Amino acid sequence: MMKSDYPMQHLNPYRFYELAAKLNALFVNTNQNRVTEMFAPLTEAQALLDGWIKGDEAYPVEMSKAEGTRLLNKIGNIFNKYYIDQSTKQLKVPTGEDRIDAHEMALVRALLEKFEIALAAEFNHAPVYVAQKCGIYATFDLIEKASNCFGEETRVVIPEAALREFDVAGRALAFDLGSGAGMHLLRAIEIVLKKYYELFSGTKVNKNERSYAIYLKKLASLSDEDGEGKPDKRLLQMLAQIKEQYRNPLVFPESEITMAQATGLFGLATAAITLMVEQILSKEAEKTVKKGGAKKALEDVKKAAKTDEEDENYDFSAAKKKVS
């Protein structure tokens, strides 16, 4: 079965219909079981059923696997009998009006009915749900790759850890988990904020020194200094609003983020991260203009994003420290 970074995978509902259609096509009366006309139905049914049993589909069959295997073996036996030369083991092309034995087809029908019953019982307990569209955000996009809301040039600069957090937040949002989405969005913001702080402060932050409040306090102080290339006060105000409205309340276990709030935070997080990345690029270009220009600055920032030390264990420090 296809591997993934997370246990949820996208199902193609048409594949369910296609399997049923190909299996039942074995009994279309127009061909009257003529060997010359049954080659395609048998081949297609065998190929699809084999894929389901082996787990080629995103949905793995379990309860119905045994019945499906019996059906597949019977179809395979019929195919080998009528389309494989037993002496050379090569494919043979049937001619004339020969027909597949009616008794054998009756056995296939009986096995198909048993498989359908087993499949119905399995699908009755299948973990299949409908996730409604969240605001203007398409469910598919939220689940598959929420970080695609950033432009390509922005995405290559954002640390990989922050992109992962953003993708998890999108999945949480799609499945109506407001607080979960909010938590991961805040983690993504703080990972990028750490990079933003290190660049403008010129100070490398250790893991035990992470603090959203300290970042903002120091950056606010730098924004009041004279000269160019300072942190943007409007961005800092946005980050402070996110801290007060969303981050600080999550310190308390009785607090939660509603879906409406989580959807709003998704937009704020997208805007805040995009602005931080733009200013990171601008600052790096300013610093390296004498050493190779803006192009070198972009390459350096991209490299830093790929080799970042952050991982999915990034601390949500507000849960451990006094809110300030």
Residue-wise pLDDT tens digits, 240-261: 999 999 998 887 888 889 999 9
Amino acid residing at 25: A
Whole-angstrom Cα distance, residue 142 to residue 165? 12
Q: What is the DSSP code string of 189-242? A: HHHHHHHHHHHHH--PPPGGG--HHHHHHHHHHHHTSSSSSPPPHHHHHHHHHH
- Predicted confidence band of residue 159 (pLDDT cuts 50, 70, 90): very high
> What is the CA 127 to chain-centroid distance, rounded?
17
pTM: 0.69
pLDDT of residue 311: 47
- Predicted confidence band of residue 271 (pLDDT cuts 50, 70, 90): very high
CB-neighbour burial class of residue 78 (10 A; exposed 0-12, middle 13-18, buried 19+): buried
- The mean pLDDT value of the chain amounts to 83
Q: Which residue has the tokens 């420090």?
A: 317
Buried b (16+ CB within 10 A) or exposed e, 204-217: eeeeeebbbbbbbe
CA 162 to each of CA 31, 35, 61, 186: distance values in angstroms, whole numbers, following the listed order? 59, 60, 35, 10
Nearest Cα neighbor of 163 from 262, 319, 302 is 302
Comparison of pLDDT for 56 and 14, the residue scoring more: 14
Q: Per-residue pLDDT averaged across 185-193, rounded?
A: 95
pLDDT for 117 beyond 50: yes
pLDDT for 323 beyond 70: no
pLDDT of residue 296: 55
pLDDT for 62 beyond 80: yes
Rg for the chain (alpha carbons), in Å? 30
DSSP 34: B
CA angle 94, 96, 101 (to 5 degrees): 75
Q: What is the pLDDT of residues 274-308, one digit of tens each?
A: 999 999 998 888 776 555 555 555 565 555 555 55
Comparison of pLDDT for 128 and 216, the residue scoring more: 216
Domain boundaries, given as residue ranges, for the chain: 14-124, 139-319
Kindly give the interhelix angle for 65-83 and 35-54, rounded to the nearest 10 degrees: 150
Whole-angstrom Cα distance, residue 58 to residue 322? 45
CATH class belonging to 139-319: mainly alpha
